[in-house]
Amino acid sequence: MFWFVVFLDSRVYKTNVVGTLNMLGLAKRVGARFLLTSTSEVYGDPLQHPQVETYWGNVNPIGVRSCYDEGKRTAETLAMDYHRGANVEVRIARIFNTYGPRMCIDDGRVVSNFVAQALRKEPLTVYGDGKQTRSFQFVSDLVEGLMRLMEGEHVGPFNLGNPGEFTMLELAKVVQETIDPNASIEFRPNTEDDPHKRKPDITKAKELLGWEPKVSLRQGLPLMVKDFRQRVFGDQKEGSSMATTTTKTTSA
């Protein structure tokens, strides 16, 4: 199991680095404009709050999250090297937590976790004391930001995120209000290197891209819940049907 986990982590890093390198090579050959969807994780567990694009971050290079954090940081390095050294047109977006319809139900992200758990009448799992903060942007705001970045003349990097800041307990409360006021909360030990605070400074995006998010968490979450509700209960019905069919086949 240990070696399997290491292998998976190395694939995360390899995808970020080798995948980016391959696509930059393609962009160079065909003269394409290259978009790198980087991440707020490049800031690590930040010592500056909110985070501006000029902040270099506070990342543990050998931690359990480093395969992703450092993979994205290296991808940004490669993009800028190709931009400066090979005149490739690049655009870099640092994407903060994003949510919305059509997300994978069990992808492990906190919003999808909470929504799926509340719909399934399971406890909402909060890691640590729940006081760590994140900022959540609705997917349509992100798409608009990426389009403006690609259509503009500025390389970046640009923070694309919603400056509205919520603790995990506050997020859980919004989910309870939206889905089930009686949903319980279950506390578990915190994960290693979990950032304590995360909030984008989007001044640069406002000034150079004319972009800022429009959808608040309380506006966007019901749209995500509607989609999840259809898929969660649809999957359950399909699963029940499959289970019945399997039972009949086995009995026969």
C-alpha neighbours within 13 Å on the C-beta side of residue 10:
6
The owner of tokens 């930040």 is: 46
CA nearest 178: which of 231, 133, 225?
Answer: 225
C-alpha–C-alpha distance, residues 121 and 100, integer Å: 20
- Catalytic residues, which ones? 68
Cα separations in angstroms, 113 against 131, 168, 227 = 17, 12, 14
CA nearest 34: which of 22, 49, 45, 23?
Answer: 23
